[in-house]
Amino acid sequence: MITVLKGTHDVILDEASKYTYVEQVLIRVAETYGFKEFRTPIIEASNLFTRSVGDSSDIVRKEMYTFLDKGERSITLRPELTAGVVRSMVNNKLFIEQDYPKKAYYVGPCFRYERPQQGRYRQFNQFGVECVGVNNSYRDSEVIILAYNALKMLGFKDITLKINTLGDEESRLNYKTVLKEYFKEHLNSMCPDCHERYNLNPLRILDCKVHEDQEIVKNAPKMSNFLTENAKKAFEEVKAILTENGVKYDVDDSLVRGLDYYSGVVFEFHYTSKQGKNYGAIGAGGHYNKLVKELEGPDIEGIGFAMGIERLVSVMNDDNLFDEIDLEDTMLDVYILPIGEENIAYSLSFANKLRSLGYATEVCLENKGMSQMFKKAERRRAKLALILGENEIKNGEVVVKNLALKEQETIKMEDLVEYLDEILIKEE
């Protein structure tokens, strides 16, 4: 049997309804903040990611799905969407008109060749936003508030928001020099990845997950001691605006994020389900200063975040957050039971009339006995079963059975729409 590839998964049936629900809530919230949808390609030129996500990131170093196409071009399945969205803003000349900020939201699959584990897939879905231009703490805070409120809208109550600042260029330069000095002494006992990070970007060592390295990492000098006055001020402003807006946060000075393009404020959302399961960050993001320019846009800065739909759905499943949500919209309204093969064709066109009125309708496409058709209707989780036989059609009537109440009645065709509206819309 051919099965899904390692680290990938089918999202089907009820689970798919949950994905759609979560995505729609996130999209709705982003739209209330004035963000517009961007759909960028899944395949991109590989150097888009080496130039943006960065050579020192785990993503570029070992997780990209990269291949040569038939024209010998190096292509990569996008590991994240920020780079593609900013590239599209540049390519489509959105920055010519300087009514900043440019606001994009996106949703779609990403690909990373990671070791699959709880909450970690090789193909997964992200929802995210990018807000580019207008470089100040109001913009940065508003994007974090958006993410926080979107999680609230999904029903999350105790979200942990960790924030930190990576400072400005000057802060980071000072800090990197000090970090290099510190890690130089310990490098011999550290993991091979840290050796590489030491040369490419010593900040990345702070993100090392290897157990034996933790003590060394913990005792490393802290970024907060190397911030310039401007960087400190910007961080203080963001924190004040978050507090003013009722957003609770914890400052975590070990938070550096795994992508090279970040600067300034960075953040992660964590949530542990009631059963104690932690799927890693459910969302994360940060400010970027050089990304737009790196992709040949103007010298402007932006901020964005991404949330993992898989992780959101997993924690929501664990904590029964879907129980309070009406996913019934996805249920079938009407299942038509044609009596005898000769009435199937009539039932098909009748179903189309109901669909054009907005009712999800299916027809039993085979000539089956009544009890079998009722069983099918129940398996389909239809709200109503409609019986269409020779007599009903001749008399301009239809027999309707409410499958939940187990009540059956005969309705005149001309009264049916009113009847359906009453039963099905009243329920919502």
49 vs 335, beta carbon nearer ligand AMP:
49
Stretch that binds ligand AMP, among 112-120, 210-218, 385-393, 410-418 (CB under 6 A): 112-120
d(CA 143, CA 147): 6
Q: What angle do CA 251, 254, 260 make, to 5 degrees?
A: 110
Q: Considering the complex, what minimum distance in angstroms separates the CB of residue 7 from ligand AMP? A: 8
- Choice between 103 and 311, CB closer to ligand AMP: 311
Candidate residues 23, 44, 58, 80; the one interacting with ligand AMP per rule CB under 6 A: 80
Query: Does 17 interact with ligand AMP (rule: CB under 6 A)?
Result: no
CB closer to ligand AMP, 107 vs 377: 107
Nearer to ligand AMP, 58 or 168 (CB): 58
In angstroms, the CA 98 to CA 298 distance is 10
| Separation CA 141–CA 150 (nearest Å) | 14
Least separation, in Å, of the C-beta of 198 and ligand AMP?
A: 22
Based on CB atoms, which residue is closest to ligand AMP, 114 or 318?
114
d(CA 90, CA 194): 34
Q: Which is nearer to ligand AMP, 80 or 392 (CB)?
A: 80
- What does the alpha-carbon distance between residue 196 and residue 416 come to, in Å, rounded to a whole number? 71
Percentage helix, strand, coil, to 5, in the chain? Answer: 45, 20, 35
- Asked if 109 interacts with ligand AMP (CB under 6 A), we say no
Q: Contact with ligand AMP (CB under 6 A): which of 89, 104, 281, 400?
A: 281
Which residues contact residue 167 at a Cβ distance below 8 angstroms, ignoring those fewer than 6 apart?
175, 223, 226, 227, 228, 231, 263, 264
Asked if 120 contacts 286 with a C-beta cutoff of 8 angstroms, the reply is: no
From the CB of 258, what's the least distance to ligand AMP, in Å? 5
Contact 387, 347 (CB under 8 A): no
Of 281 and 339, CB closest to ligand AMP: 281
Interface with ligand AMP, residue 114, by CB under 6 A: yes
Positions 296 through 315 that interact with ligand AMP (CB under 6 A)? 306-308, 310-311
Sign of the alpha-carbon dihedral angle for 145, 131, 282, 3: positive
Task: Report d(CA 134, CA 354) in Å as an integer.
Answer: 50
Residue 23 interacting with ligand AMP (CB under 6 A): no
In angstroms, the CA 81 to CA 130 distance is 10
Indicate if the alpha-carbon torsion angle 47, 53, 57, 63 is positive or negative: negative
Q: Is 124 in the site for ligand AMP (CB under 6 A)?
A: yes
Of 147 and 351, which CB lies nearer to ligand AMP in the complex structure?
Answer: 147
Q: Out of 84, 101, 264, 283, name the contact with ligand AMP by CB under 6 A.
A: 283
277 contributes a contact to ligand AMP by CB under 6 A: no
CA dist 415 and 258 (Å) reads: 62
Q: Are 250 and 164 in contact (CB under 8 A)?
A: no
Compute CA 389 distance to the chain's CA centroid, rounded to the nearest angstrom.
47
Q: Of the two residues 25 and 386, which places its CB atom closer to ligand AMP in the complex?
A: 25
Which whole-number Å values give the CA distances from 391 to 128, 246, 338, 366, 396, in the listed order?
56, 64, 11, 19, 8
Site string for ligand AMP, 253-272 (x = CB under 6 A): -----x--------------
Segment near ligand AMP (CB under 6 A); pick from 162-170, 231-239, 277-285, 345-353: 277-285
Residues in the chain, overall count: 428
Candidates 64, 104, 131, 282; binder of ligand AMP (CB under 6 A) is 282
Nearer to ligand AMP, 35 or 288 (CB): 288
Stretch 309-348: interaction string toward ligand AMP, x if CB under 6 A? -xx-------------------------------------
Smallest separation (angstroms) from ligand AMP to the CB of 211: 21
Q: Which residues contact 243 (CB under 8 A, 6 or more apart)?
A: none
Window 40 to 69, contacts with ligand AMP (CB under 6 A): none
By CB under 6 A, is residue 120 in contact with ligand AMP?
Answer: yes
Which residue ranges make up the site for ligand AMP (CB under 6 A)? 80, 112, 114, 119-121, 124, 126, 258, 281-284, 306-308, 310-311
